[in-house]
Amino acid sequence: MSEPQGRGFWRSEGASGLFLISPTAIFAILLLAAPLATTLLYSVFTDGYLEIIPRFQLCNYIGECASMKLDAATGQYVPTETYLGAWSDPVVRALMWRSLYVSILVTAATVLFAYPVAYFVSFNVEPSKKSLWLFLITIPFWTSYVIRVFMWNVMISRTGVINSALVGSGIVDEPLQMAFTLQAMVVTLAHAYAPFAILPIYVALEKIDRSLLEAGQDLGETRFRTFLRVTLPLSMSGVIAAVLIVFIPTIGDYITPNLIGGGKIPMIANMIEKQMLKADNRALGSAIAVSAMLVVGAVSLLFLFLNRRYLKGNK
Amino acid sequence: MKFPVLRTYTVLYLLFLYIPILILPIFAFNNSTTAAFPLKGFTTQWFGRVFTDPALGEALKNSLIVAGSTAFFSTLLGILAARATTRYSFKGQAPLSGLIMLPMVLPEMIMAMALLVVLLSLGIPLSLFTIILGDVLICTPFAVAILTSAFQSLDKSLEEAAQDLGEGPFSTFYLVILPLVAPGIISAMLICFTIAIDEFIIANFLGSGEKLLSTYIFGQLRFPKNVPNIMALGTVLVCVSIALLATAEFFRRRGLARTGAKDTGGFL
């Protein structure tokens, strides 16, 4: 099927492919690559009044920075107020730690609780009924995220569904304090990302050759040890995908801290919003955004590395 | 047979997943302004109230415009990318498809803020159009994923047969390939539509204050007396999503049956 020789690059297979993908690629370059590059650039520029001054500095990350304003009389930029860089500011650091803590908890809870579900659908459900089970699992995920988060709010608030049921039935005397807690945020997020964890693990489990498991048992391993030594290592690719797919969006979640935390337990996304918009400090906002991406990238790489070690140790 | 631990666990887990959706209609029909037990009696007044709110009509209209356009453009971009990567191999394929799929693994807030900063500094006024741009960026990877599997399950000999019978590349695409991947296209559009109608961060930050369904709902939550209205609205939205999804699933299965591929289940 190869094209005749001599018609040059523009009639070749490669050119057709490039030509075909170019609208999508150009769209992604303009709306994703360029904005990300701009954010990176802004994070090392100087913050002005409703503008950004292309003057290189690293204090948006470390140390103390000054916002500048153009002085009409002299035509010079003069410092107006000082602020701490993203890594030096204890408030930003605390929010980053909290986001990391919440998203690691959410990821661990989601993946641990999801694994048995994926295992059940892959190993214990008849093949003809598998897609029905998967469909049932995905339905809640496709209903409005804002409404789902809001429903948790309605359930856990002081006068809400759970408390009114508990107090009404006499199980507790005083309503439980569940709203505006970190735990409530973790439960809400774990609920929201559950299908994201189940599906990749399920796909990995489906690929496992069932005869390997029989071989393990024929060689005298118990079912549990077969699971530990065969099934679990072979399904690790799905677990990795699940971990990354849950961890990455959770760390930047915006709605849950707003609705469940009541704005009292902000996470890093809320800080980025504040700096970029309300505080009009796009240099610092960009530096926080870049730092958040670095943290996400570093944790993901660390996790991939640990997993490689684990799989090697298993051989 | 011993007690089926895994099955019981899975059913309980599903119950946990469904709790908010199950509670939603209970309180949407409950005759009380607060969502709490005991229930006060049956009413449909919240449905009447929320659907006579002109602001909701406006939000619904905006959401339909945004989600419809997003579904169309994401799927179009998805078709091009999926066809290019499944049919041809070319230089830069890996980095380009990596970039196109990147939004799936980036925190949305960071993308929204980066995009917002660029739009503002270029002086592009925020509008429904900028919301659509952001949504297309988020949805295209999903469309690419669905369409790639649709194009992959195509039998290449069908295409070759059409060309041997004298069809050109365009008529082959139109007459042979398009009908075979049509179910994939429909399910990609439905998925993108559902994501876009649900999308909050993009709608909140890349618009100029126009209300969409998600931002309308978010705005109403500040007023406790409007809570039952939102539950009524939520009940309707849940029903609509399930109907859309069932349709998408139906077309996906029909597509697999048409190309003779094995059902591997699920959208993702």
Tokens of B129: 């159009």
Point out which residues pair with A66 in neighbouring strands.
A82
User: What are A19-36's pLDDT values in tens digits?
Assistant: 889 999 999 999 999 999
| Residue B32 located in a structural domain | no
Write the CATH number for A287: 1.10.3720.10
When pLDDT is cut at 50, 70 and 90, the band that residue B180 belongs to is confident
Q: Is residue B199 part of a domain?
A: yes
C-alpha B115/C-alpha B225 separation (Å) is 36
CATH code of B90's domain:
1.10.3720.10
Contact B219, B8 (CB under 8 A): no
**Distance (Å, whole) CA B162 – CA B168:** 8
Question: In this model, does residue B266 exceed pLDDT 60?
Answer: no
**Does the beta-carbon distance from A273 to B109 stay under 8 Å?**
yes
| A310 domain-assigned | yes
Parent domain of A203? 90-314
Does A4 fall in a domain?
Answer: no
Minimum-distance CB partner of B115 among A35, A146, A159:
A35
Residues A100 and A154 in one domain: yes
Chain A nearest CA to B114, separation (Å): 5
Q: Are residues A176 and A204 in the same domain?
A: yes
CA distance A305 to chain B (A): 18
**B139 in contact with A at a CB cutoff of 8 Å?**
no
Closest CA to A87 of A295, A305, A261, A304: A295
Tokens standing for A225?
């040890």
Contacts by A17-20 with C-beta closer than 8 Å and gap 24+? A17/B84, A17/B85, A17/B87, A17/B88, A17/B89, A17/B90, A17/B93, A18/B84, A18/B90, A18/B91, A18/B92, A20/B80, A20/B81, A20/B83, A20/B84, A20/B87, A20/B88
Residues of A in contact with B36 (CB under 8 A): 159-161, 163-164
Q: Are A116 and B10 an interchain contact pair (Cβ–Cβ within 8 Å)? A: yes
Residue A291, domain member (yes or no):
yes
Cβ–Cβ below 8 Å for A27 and B253: no
**Which residue, A64, A84, A104, sits at the end of a domain?**
A84
* A87 and A93 Cβ atoms separated by less than 8 Å: yes
Averaged confidence pLDDT in chain B: 85
What is the residue whose two structure tokens read 């809870």?
A109
**CA atoms of B69 and B154, how far apart (whole Å):** 27
Highest mean pLDDT among A94-103, A204-213, B209-218: A94-103
**Whether A79 and A135 share a structural domain:** no
Among A82-96, A151-165, B56-70, B202-216, whose mean pLDDT is lowest?
Answer: A151-165
- The answer to whether residue A2 sits within a structural domain is no
Question: Number of helices and strands (H, E) in chain B?
Answer: 12, 0
Residue B221's pLDDT is 80
Average pLDDT value for chain A:
86
Nearest to A283 by CA among B69, B244, B121: B121
User: In which domain, by residue range, is B232 found?
Assistant: 54-259
For chain B positions 37-76, those within 8 Å of chain A (CB to CB) are 37-38
Cis peptide before A23 (omega within 30 of 0): no
Is residue B229's pLDDT more than 90? no
Whether residue A248 sits in one domain with residue A108: yes
The beta-carbon neighbor of B96 closest among A21, A144, A165 is A21
Q: What residues of B are in contact with residue A1 (Cβ under 8 Å)?
A: 160
pLDDT score of A1 more than 50: no
Q: State whether A59 and A104 are in the same domain.
A: no
Q: List the 283-302 stretch of A: residues with Cβ below 8 A of B.
A: 285-286, 289, 292-293, 296
Only one residue has tokens 């050109």, namely: B168
What is d(CA B7, CA A117) in angstroms, rounded to the nearest whole number?
8
Would you say how long chain B is, in residues?
Answer: 268
Mean pLDDT of B109-134: 91
Under 8 Å between Cβ of B112 and B44 = no
Tell me the sheet residues that pair with A53.
A46
Domain count, chain A: 2
Tell whether the model's pLDDT for residue A2 goes beyond 50: no
Nearest to B104 by CA among B72, B137, B71, B132: B137
What does B14-58 look like in DSSP terms, one character per residue?
HHHHHHHHHHHHHHHSBSSSS--SSP--B--HHHHHHHT-HHHHH
Contact B266, A134 (CB under 8 A): yes
- Alpha-carbon distance B117 to nearest alpha carbon in chain A (angstroms): 8
In this structure, is residue A286 part of a structural domain? yes
Torsion, Cα B151 B156 B159 B161, to 10 degrees, reads: -160
- Considering only alpha carbons, which residue of chain A is nearest residue B164? A1
ipTM exceeds 0.90: no
B17 interface with A at CB cutoff 8 Å: yes
Interface of A with B in 53-112 (CB under 8 A): none
Query: Where does the pLDDT of residue A68 fall: very low under 50, low under 70, confident under 90, or very high at 90 and above?
Result: confident
pLDDT recorded at residue B267: 44
Whether A3 and chain B come into contact, CB under 8 Å, resolves to: no
CB contact under 8 A, B6 and A276: no
> Which residues of chain A have a CB within 8 Å of the CB of B37?
161, 164-165, 168
CA-CA distance, A269 to A173, in Å (whole number)? Answer: 37
How sure is the predictor about A54, in pLDDT bands with cuts at 50, 70 and 90? confident
Residues A64 and A106 grouped into a single domain: no
Lowest mean pLDDT among A274-288, B22-36, B205-219: B22-36
Which helix or strand (DSSP H or E) is residue A133 part of?
Answer: helix A130-138
**A206 in a domain, yes or no?**
yes
Q: What share of chain B in percent tops pLDDT 90?
A: 29
In a domain, B14, yes or no: no
Q: How far apart are CA A152 and CA A180, in angstroms?
A: 11
Q: Which of residues 192-211 of A touch B (CB under 8 A)?
A: 194-196, 199-200, 202-203, 206
A1 found inside a domain = no
Residue in A142, A172, A245 to test binding to B, most B beta-carbons within 10 Å = A142
* Residues in chain A within 8 Å Cβ distance of B81: 20-21, 24-25
Q: Packing angle between helix A182-206 and helix A145-156, nearest 10 degrees?
A: 130
Listed residues A69, A84, A99: the one ending a domain: A84
pLDDT mean over A175-190: 85
Q: Which of chain A's residues have a Cβ under 8 Å away from the Cβ of B249?
A: 131, 135
Based on the domain organization, do A75 and A199 belong to the same domain?
Answer: no
